[in-house]
Structure 1
Amino acid sequence: MQSLNARARSLGSAPGHCASRVRGPRCARLVVRAAAQEGRALAEGDLVLVAGATGGVGQLVTAKLLERGFRVRAVDRARKNRSAAATLFPGSNIEVFPADLRDRSTMVGITQGVAAVCCCTGTTAFPSSRWEGENGPRNTDWVGTSNLIDSTPSTVKRFVLVTSVGVERYTEFPFAILNSFGVLKYKRDSERHLEASGLPYTIIRPGRLTDGPYTSYDLNTLLQATAGTRQDVQLSARDDQRGEASRIAVAEAVVQSLLLPSTSNHYFSICSTDGEGPGKDSAAWDRLFSQCHSAGAASKVMV
């Protein structure tokens, strides 16, 4: 059987280089200016595809979307046993799409009919059991993510990608250590690929994740989870943060970015600390996002 790395090479695009949609940095900028759509908010009942729906952030995003009346298509790698997503959200308004994002042949129809895409996939920065089956940073954060971007039609209202702080500083200490096996570089390559795709996007860059990951198989339990005392959210339009971020706050930021047109075609670094924050208040999130990018990437903004 052809290895996943061989399949990746057959895509005809190395990390850091654009695939079929663009042919270089200059062309990429032109594509973005010409093709990027104005942000459009989702409506209740819209279908949202969530990649990484059983992960720490992804399952919270899925729960929050279901709570708000959206339909969810959860991408779950084909298994012999029952889908993990189906087990996690039994009886919910969710459909499971079995696919391996590293293999385009399994992704036919994956984004058909979706109004938005949330990519919450990821792996560990250093070798671990999660790397088994060729699940290292390159295949997870570059090959899989870029395949999903390339499979998304231009009609989507938003593509939200969750990456990490440090993606623009992976040659600097301490991020150079975290990037020893390329995880930050591959995340940054995927950010560039999304930006150059012409899709309306929002990129969320969380600090070191805290709160969870949750392993509850009860939807109500997930919805009742709170960020504890770490609800004060700090956003930055630049990659200049070093703190921690509650998974719950990150998941809420992902969902809010789908609801708010003002977040279209922007990057946001996010951390959270002790104190009160925006919670689920869309108006508060809108102020937070809008102040952040209208400041011209000058400084952090707090609610």
Structure 2
Amino acid sequence: MADSSKSTVLVTGAGGRTGQIVFKKLKERSDQYVARGLVRTEESKQKIGSADDVFVGDIRDSASLVPAIEGIDALIILTSGVPQIKPGFDPTKGQRPEFYFEDGAYPEQVDWIGQKNQIDAAKAAGVKQIVLVGSMGGTDLNNPLNSLGNGNILVWKRKAEQYLVDSGIPYTIIRAGGLQDKEGGIRELLVGKDDELLKTETRTIARPDVAEVCIQALNFEEAQFKAFDLSSKPEGTGSPTKDFKALFSQITTRF
């Protein structure tokens, strides 16, 4: 029987670079959480967890999500379309890389339909909160990310975010700045709105900091029904963020 004092949390995209960190952090807090992961392949499953807490499913196929989502309290969505570099790119020749998306893995299919399927399945299962990780830059149709592989990735991400807002499920939408593979917990985090942080020098954030904010969002009512941009000050400036209730309390935007 499930321990009702613990919250069962599913991380989708748990095989990705940020998803793996969220999943690991949840497992380390086993006194508070029962962690579940959803990955696309058996290979990813072998890499990140034990047999009973990692599910293999395809977010484009609603039925394959049901076993993972059944009985969870909260869902953290970290699935995202990933552009691939076209073969033949040689950085030594001063070329600019060209990008493409694999068939079936375009942002429309992954970031829109795939996330919509997750939100619908979560709603049907009575999930109490959804944390969705998106990206800064969505207010500008001409953002360079939209041109990668002609995928319009930020357009589809925003569409999924709006769908979540309209779903009625308590939500937290985190639009992360440029993700860095650096140590977390050592910088002052910044929240903003409407891509204002992109106009500053502080437009990046370490992946472990994004992961921490995802989990902290489950703990505070102040994080619910909020959407915000997230970045950090450079290491060594400001004070590392420890008070997440205060961080979420600064946010006034619902979308």
Work out whether the TM-score is over 0.5. yes
Query: Which residue in 2 is equivalent to 1:235?
Result: 191
Matched, 1:272 2:232: yes
Query: Which residue in 2 is equivalent to 1:10?
Result: none
Residue 109 of structure 1: how far off its partner (Å): 3.3
Alignment deviations for residues 193-220 of structure 1 (CA, whole Å, 9 cap, x no partner) = 10111111000000111116xxxxxxxx
User: What 5-or-longer segments of structure 1 have no aligned partner?
Assistant: 1-42, 213-225, 298-303
Distance 1:176 1:167 in 2: 9
Residue 126 of structure 1: how far off its partner (Å): 6.0
- Say which of 93, 97, 101 aligns to 2:55: 97
User: What 5-or-longer segments of structure 2 have no aligned partner?
Assistant: 88-99
1:261-300 matches, cutoff 5 A: 261-274=221-234, 275=236, 276-278=239-241, 281=242, 284-293=243-252
Matched, 1:74 2:30: no
Select the structure with the greater relative contact order (CA < 8 A; seq sep ≥ 6). Answer: 1
Flag the 1:47–1:178 CA change in 2: closer, same or farther, 3 A: same
Alignment RMSD, CA only? 2.6
Matched, 1:60 2:5: no
Tell me the TM-score normalized by structure 1.
Answer: 0.68
Query: Which residue in 1 is equivalent to 2:129?
Result: 158
Alignment deviations for residues 89-127 of structure 1 (CA, whole Å, 9 cap, x no partner) = 348xx6122210111232233311100000011133565
* SS of corresponding position for 1:271: strand
Query: Which residue in 1 is equivalent to 2:70?
Result: 112
Distance 1:181 1:201 in 2: 26
Matched, 1:247 2:207: yes
Tell me the amino acid that sits aligned with residue 15 of structure 2. T
* SS of corresponding position for 2:216: helix
| Higher relative strand content | 2
Matched, 1:122 2:122: no
- Say which of 137, 141, 153 aligns to 2:107: 137
Tell me the amino acid that sits aligned with residue 63 of structure 2. S
Tell me the amino acid that sits aligned with residue 289 of structure 1. F
Query: Which residue in 1 is equivalent to 2:93?
Result: none
Tell me the TM-score normalized by structure 2.
Answer: 0.80
* SS of corresponding position for 2:240: coil
1:124-203 matches, cutoff 5 A: 124-125=82-83, 131-153=101-123, 155-169=126-140, 171-174=141-144, 177=147, 180-203=150-173
